[in-house]
Chains A and B, each alone.
Chain A
Amino acid sequence: MGMRLVSLALLIAAWYVGSQLAGARLLPDPQAVALAIVDEARSGALAFNLGATLARVAVAFVIAMALGSLIGLIMGRSRIADRLGDPWLIVLLNLPALVIIVLAYVWAGLTETAAIAAVALNKLPIATVTVREGARSLDHALDDMAQVFRMGAWTRLRHVVLPQLAPYLAAAARSGLSLVWKIVLIVELLGRPNGVGFEIGVAFQLFDVTRILAYALAFIAVMLAIETFLVQPLERHVARWRPRPA
């Protein structure tokens, strides 16, 4: 914890020195950015834009994780599904995010649905590939055990399969969250009238670096809070059965 604070202090110091060298127009100092954050917060714009972006992140993330995990599980368990789905997966994985976004807006208009679908579609193949890896490494011995004891489908999924997939789901969620929010900003920049991405787009046109940094930092803080208060406790809960070094 102490080291983390030192590291953070060094970052802010470097930023301050940089701003003195580059000038306030190119790189405003930390105090100016902090004041801008306070200003945006007072007017209510910060909460509104953060909320809009977070909602998009949440919906796209949930859709991509749910669908991606389901498809990954099926592909990992069935060889036919794997052969059928694999080419699609390769196409999706290699389609640039920007192409998916632009096509979604062209086909479905500049709508919320198009925005969220585009983000989810960007994240989906990565979740699928990760969970498929997990499904391939499921323990057959435990499968046999569940079959002998005639465990129901739901019991098997919840108590036999999902705990084995937990590390893979966690990895997919981790990488997914950071990817999704970056793509959401692009989607907002290109075709939404609000959100952090939209604000940054406006600030870019006005060459307002202070505002760009203010929104970026505010959003990083929110994601850090989600990581600390949501993702990490969840991971600890899922890993509670692992023997810890005393």
Chain B
Amino acid sequence: MSPAGARGRLDVNIKQKSFRAASGGKLHVLGELVFSLRSGELAALVGPSGCEKTTLLRIVAGLDRDFDGHVAIPAHGTLAMVFQEPRLLPWRTVEQNVRLAAPRASDAGLEMLFQTLGLEAHRDHYPGELSLGLARRVALARAFAVKPDLLLLDEPFVSLDDALAARLREELAELVNRRPVTTLLVTHNVEEAIGLADRLLLLSISPARIVADVPVARPRAAHTPAELAALRGEIARRLNQPFSRENL
């Protein structure tokens, strides 16, 4: 289903990343992190809280260039990101927010996006008038409207109630199925990762390294409950284990 080839390929090769601590010392937050995403692949970065997943995503997005290593994003370099908070412009309407990020989006394309995400009635609303769930949908619409070559999702459904998060996950899955895009999803929710990703990259606590690279076979509907339970157990075991070489 995903187009093969290097067009939408992501190569991450980080040697290490540190912050200068307030006390003057160095805070080593990312260890060696090497992985690649095929074009159209959706990988989930799963790790305990505080393992600097957001830092990793900011490096991939080009927002943080202060690290050792190299990141090659897809050739065209059209990027979209859904941040932990919706990060909409409060002084622009829903539609303006989307159009400002995606000036080349077609009317028909936007129509379809708004419909899929249930936003038609809110086009002319300001972000301050939306619930958090709706605002997150706008952030998703904005990200898909630019037709990105690389999509970065930073815990996009955090602090929503379970039912709403599940519905938004389904909508995200539908959007990704309609137009496959190389996607890096950061989450600490294992269920979410299994539900959406082709592949799970399990991270250790800080300084973060990849503990395991777990493929999730598609289509997901084919998984039996027993298989899913086994997968969950496996992931839980690996995540709770302290990092060691054998796990690689």
| Residues in A lying within 8 Å of B, measured CB to CB | 141-142, 144-145, 147-151, 155, 159-160, 163, 166, 241-243
Contact = CB atoms under 8 A, between A and B. Distances in A.
A144 B80 CA distance: 11
Given A243-B128, A243-B129, A142 B89 contact: yes
14 contacts: A142-B89, A144-B58, A144-B61, A144-B63, A144-B87, A148-B61, A148-B63, A148-B152, A149-B100, A149-B142, A149-B146, A163-B89, A241-B90, A241-B128
Interface in B30-89: 58, 61-63, 78-81, 83, 85, 87, 89
Contact of A242 (B80, B83, B128): B128
B4 interface: no
Contacts, number: 56
Contacts of A151: 100-101
Given A148-B61, A149-B80, A149-B146, A241 B101 contact: no
A144 B81 CA distance: 10
A160 B101 CA distance: 11
Interface string B123-147: 0001011000000000000100010
B223 to A, nearest CB: 33
Contacts of A144: 58, 61, 63, 83, 87
Given A141-B87, A241-B91, A150 B79 contact: yes
A159 B92 contact: yes
A94 to B, nearest CB: 36
A141 B63 CA distance: 11
B85 A141 contact: yes
Interface residues of B, number: 26
A243 B126 CA distance: 8
Contacts of A241: 90-92, 126, 128
A147 B90 contact: no
Interface in B214-247: none
* Chain A facing B: main interface SS: helix
A151 B104 CA distance: 12
Interface of B: 58, 61-63, 78-81, 83, 85, 87, 89-92, 96, 100-103, 126, 128-129, 142, 146, 152
B83 A141 contact: yes
Contacts of A155: 100, 103
A144 B84 CA distance: 13
B182 to A, nearest CB: 15
A147 B96 CA distance: 17
Given A147-B63, A149-B101, A142 B87 contact: yes
A150 B103 CA distance: 11
A166 B89 CA distance: 14
A174 B55 CA distance: 42
Contacts of A163: 89-92
Contacts of A160: 89
Contacts of B63: 144, 147-148
A159 B129 contact: no
Contacts of A149: 79-81, 100-102, 142, 146
Contacts of A145: 81, 83, 87
A235 to B, nearest CB: 13
Contacts of B129: 243
A220 B101 CA distance: 45
A86 B196 CA distance: 53
A1 B241 CA distance: 71
Given A148-B80, A243-B126, 17 more contacts: A141-B85, A144-B83, A144-B87, A145-B87, A147-B63, A148-B62, A149-B79, A149-B80, A149-B81, A149-B100, A149-B102, A149-B142, A149-B146, A159-B92, A163-B89, A163-B92, A242-B128
A159 B152 CA distance: 23
Contacts of B146: 149
Nearest to B101: A149
